[in-house]
Structure formats: structure tokens, C-alpha cells
Amino acid sequence: MTKVSISLAHALLGGTLILTTATASYALEGGRLSKEATITLDRARDAAMKAQPGTILDQELEHRKGGSGLRYSFDIRVGRVTHEVGIDAKTGSVLQNSAEGNK
């Protein structure tokens, strides 16, 4: 391989790693709990976006007090404000919709 080919291969590999990392960061944190949920992530995401339209920055499935004790938690950006929206993972009801402040 020539030096140009090797440099191109490194650049492509680096780009692939960056793309993979960016995709993985949007994965569902706490996904191991999904077997306990009766509501799918897609349905919970739809409920969260209906409660607070905006851009989802982060999503998580977690055990937390309130409702059934298992919730999907979404950070949703609206302008400069980030809202935390909690959706019960067993009933689909909105448990929380509160502004976190400027970020």
C-alpha cells in the first residue's frame, strides 16, 4: 500500500468510528430494563413528544419512584430550555414534564 492509501484507510476508519460513536450515544441508556416495560420505546417517545414537542437530546429507561416505578426519561430541547419528560414504561402515562433550565 502507498502512503496515500494508508492515510486514506486511516481517515475512513476514523470516520467510521466517529459515526458509530455518534449513533451509539443516541441509544437507549438502561436498555437492559426493556424486558420489564410493557410500553415500547417508540410509543413512549411519541407520548413524550406529544407532551412536549421539541428535539430529543437523550433518552433513558430507569427505575424511579412514581407511577409503576419504571419510566422512560427524555431530555427534550425547546429553544434554549431543556425539559425532562417522564413516561411510565408500563402504562404510557406522563409522569413528569418540567423545565430543567438553560443548557
pLDDT of residue 27: 60
* Contact between residue 37 and residue 67 where contact means Cβ atoms under 8 Å apart: no
Dist. CA 5–CA 2, nearest whole Å: 5
For the whole model, what pTM was predicted? Answer: 0.70
Q: pLDDT tens digits, residue range 31-90? A: 788 888 999 999 999 999 999 999 999 999 999 998 999 999 999 999 999 999 999 999
- pLDDT band for 101, please (50, 70, 90 cuts): low
* Contact between residue 70 and residue 37 where contact means Cβ atoms under 8 Å apart: yes
